[in-house]
Structure 1
Amino acid sequence: MNGPVIHLSIAPELRLFVPSEHRSGPSPLVTDGTSTLGHVIESLGVPLTEAGRFVVDGTPVTVAHIPRADESVEVYGVERPQRVPGAPLRFLLDVHLGTLARRLRLLGVDAAYENEDIGDPALATLSAREKRVLLSRDRGLLRRRELWAGAYVYSDRPEDQLRDVLERFAPALAPWTRCTACNGPLRDADKDTVQDRLEGGTQRNYDVFAQCARCERVYWRGAHHARLEAIVTAAVREFGGAAAA
């Protein structure tokens, strides 16, 4: 690339995406004189899903701006909480984020999840068709043009991933209302109607049940309830909602 040189400043939270020479202070960057600012930033490795404001010589611009010689360009991260206009807030998670999907569902957040690798084009198309925010740690996937909306998941630890998504998007929490297996809605279930799905010990020891209206999976406060309740309580304490099961 041989063209105008700009002076680029990248927000600290975005520096993990760019080469080391652009991770501190304004740094020179040679452009081709024809590409948009959005293309320039993506070429450095920053998914546009993670870029918020663009400021050139103190003036906000859009991704369509074509950088000129000696311009000072500042790239900021997305503002939090991030608002997603035009549709109810719903998520789609790629094959590597199964634990995060289950925890979002535990909190009542609409989180579709593909437990098989259906490929990047299909995931991006599904995001667009159902107007879901695609969550992924795959930067290439987040650059797909057919994508409706997306967000990079910054951590590989499920507890940190959950906090990141809840802080970034501030979804309404309604714990214990979704099936963690299929994302369907849960409804109260009479013990007599679900007893043929229960083991003998469960029938004897539990009386309160819920059932998924979609896949008919049955739930009760079993051995894992305390661990799940701790996840719910921590999320509700920090991000709001009702924790009662």
Structure 2
Amino acid sequence: MNGPRIHITFAPELHLFVAPDRRTGRTEAVTDGASTLGHVVESLGVPLTEAGELHVDGRPVTAAHIPAAGEHIEVRPFTRPQSVPGAPLRFLLDVHLGTLARRLRLLGVDTAYFSEDIGDPALATHSAREQRVLLSRDRGLLRRRELWAGAYVYSDRPDEQLRDVLGRFAPVLTPWTRCTACNGELTEATKESVADLLHGGTERSYDVFAQCTVCDRPYWRGAHHARLAEVVETAVAEFGQQAS
């Protein structure tokens, strides 16, 4: 590009996305004089899903601002917890985030997830159609224009991923109310009503059951309950959003 020269500063929280020589403070960038600030920010590596307030010479602007020569741009991160206006807070997770999807569902958070890779265009379209926040570690996916809303998942460790999402969006937690397999809602079930779906000694060993209203999968407090309960208790204790 051979157009207006601007100065741009990225907040430390965004340094992950930009080239090393742009992590030291104010740097110079050359624009084409026609592209929006949003396009410029993304061209320098930061998905707009991660860019919070944009400031030009100290005043806030939108991503539609056209940078002019000599302007100083500040790209700030989102303030946490981040508000997502326009729809109930719901999520859609990329194919590589299966463990995170199950843990969010375990906490009662509405979380859509496809176990097979349906492709970036289909994921973005699904996000827009159902107004879900798409969570992904794919920066290219988060730049798709048809996306309704999105967020980058910064860690590759499920425990840290969960803390990041809960801290960033502060969803209401209603543990044990969603099916971890399909995201359907759970309802109380009698032993007799799910007897045909049980196997081994389950019917003899347990008395309290729940069942998914969508896929009919039965649930009970089995061998893995203590480990799952620890995940739930840790999340509720730290983030404190639990419906009464």
**TM-score category of the 2 structures, normalised to the smaller one:** over 0.9
**Which segment drifts farther, 56-65 or 175-184?**
56-65
- Structure 1: distance between partners of 2:229 and 2:238: 14
Provide structure 2 residue ranges, at least 5 long, that are not aligned to the other structure.
none
Q: Tell me what 2:161 maps to.
A: 161
Structure-2-length-normalised TM-score? 0.97
Residue 80 (str. 1) matches residue 115 (str. 2): no
For 1:196, the aligned partner's letter is D
1:195-219 deviation digits (Å, cap 9, x = unpaired): 1111232111111111101001111
1:188-237 deviation digits (Å, cap 9, x = unpaired): 11001111111232111111111101001111111100100000000000
Inter-CA distance 160–215: structure 2 relative to 1 (3 Å threshold): same
For 1:82, the aligned partner's letter is Q
Residue 122 (str. 1) matches residue 150 (str. 2): no
Question: Offset of 1:64 from its aligned partner?
Answer: 1.2
User: Do the aligned partners of 1:95 and 1:116 also contact (CA within 8 Å) in 2?
Assistant: yes
- Structure 2: distance between partners of 1:117 and 1:104: 20
For 2:145, the aligned partner's letter is R
- Structure 2: distance between partners of 1:91 and 1:19: 30
Residue 199 (str. 1) matches residue 220 (str. 2): no
1:53-83 deviation digits (Å, cap 9, x = unpaired): 1111111111111112221110001111111
- Structure 2: distance between partners of 1:243 and 1:107: 11
Q: Tell me what 2:52 maps to.
A: 52
Task: Please show how residues 126-137 of structure 1 align to structure 2 within 5 Å.
Answer: 126-137=126-137
- Structure 1: distance between partners of 2:169 and 2:108: 14
Inter-CA distance 73–105: structure 2 relative to 1 (3 Å threshold): same
Question: Offset of 1:243 from its aligned partner?
Answer: 9.5
- Tell me, what secondary structure is at the counterpart of 1:166? helix
For 2:89, the aligned partner's letter is L
Inter-CA distance 12–184: structure 2 relative to 1 (3 Å threshold): same
Instruction: State the Cα RMSD in Å.
Output: 1.3
Question: Offset of 1:30 from its aligned partner?
Answer: 1.5
Q: Tell me what 1:39 maps to.
A: 39
User: Do the aligned partners of 1:36 and 1:67 also contact (CA within 8 Å) in 2?
Assistant: yes
- Structure 2: distance between partners of 1:127 and 1:88: 13
User: Do the aligned partners of 1:4 and 1:30 also contact (CA within 8 Å) in 2?
Assistant: yes
1:14-42 deviation digits (Å, cap 9, x = unpaired): 11111111111111112222211111001
User: Do the aligned partners of 2:171 and 2:241 also contact (CA within 8 Å) in 1?
Assistant: no
Runs of 4+ in structure 1 displaced over 2 angstroms? 241-244
- Structure 1: distance between partners of 2:25 and 2:168: 25
Query: What is the aligned length?
Result: 244
Q: Tell me what 1:230 maps to.
A: 230
Question: Offset of 1:241 from its aligned partner?
Answer: 3.8
Task: Please show how residues 181-200 of structure 1 align to structure 2 within 5 Å.
Answer: 181-200=181-200
Provide structure 1 residue ranges, at least 5 long, that are not aligned to the other structure.
none
- Structure 2: distance between partners of 1:158 and 1:21: 31
For 1:106, the aligned partner's letter is L
- Tell me, what secondary structure is at the counterpart of 1:210? strand
- Structure 1: distance between partners of 2:200 and 2:168: 44
Residue 4 (str. 1) matches residue 19 (str. 2): no
- Structure 1: distance between partners of 2:170 and 2:243: 16
Inter-CA distance 66–242: structure 2 relative to 1 (3 Å threshold): closer
Structure-1-length-normalised TM-score? 0.97
User: Do the aligned partners of 1:233 and 1:243 also contact (CA within 8 Å) in 2?
Assistant: no
1:118-167 deviation digits (Å, cap 9, x = unpaired): 11111111111101111111111111111111111111001111011101
Q: Tell me what 2:68 maps to.
A: 68
